Amino acid sequence: MEEIELTEDQLLSAIKDAGIDKSFQKYIQKIGDQRVDKGIKTYQGNQDKKDLSDKERIESLETELKEMKDNKSKDDKKTLVKAELKKQSLSEGFLKYITTDDLNDQGQIEEAVKNLKDDLLNAKQADLDQKLKGFVPPAKGEPGDSGDSTLKTYVENKNTGKIAGNPFEGKLDEGK
């Protein structure tokens, strides 16, 4: 589509020729009113700030600065906890299980991560113990029969005498 550039007079003439000049005027008035309302609100907000005493402005700035410091401190703590999780071979996803608000130094962070790891290992061990419950685990170092029982069964079957299709005579049949 080709773009048409009109001067202000040409635009107003085209709008009038199209018969939409009253609608256009209402639209322009609406846009103008919105901008004036926004400007007045901004002006009033600035006036409210000017009306504050120096002491109140300083207190407001100190509050904002404290909030910024707290947020930075929380981010720094989270970074330290993530590093400790990685150091102890845990996923960074476990960060959500550690509250960083109470952690003030590296020792507390290490202890919190260690406690989390211990809790996870204990839960995993309890799960394994539950799975093994009811089954007698083999004793360590106990020798197996290494196939002796299979051989013994085979020999007993061969020595029972004549078996269908087997010409072998058992020891008991030899004396008869």
66-125 per-position pLDDT tens digit: 988 888 878 888 888 888 888 888 888 888 888 777 777 788 888 888 888 898 899 888
Amino acid code (one letter) for 90: L
Amino acid code (one letter) for 100: T
Closest CA to 78 of 91, 61, 92, 60: 92
pLDDT one-digit tens code per residue, 35-74: 999 999 988 877 776 666 777 778 888 998 998 888 887 8
pLDDT one-digit tens code per residue, 73-90: 788 888 888 888 888 888
| 4: Cβ contacts below 8 Å, ≥ 6 apart | none
Model pTM score: 0.38
- φ, ψ (nearest 5 deg) of residue 149: -70, -35
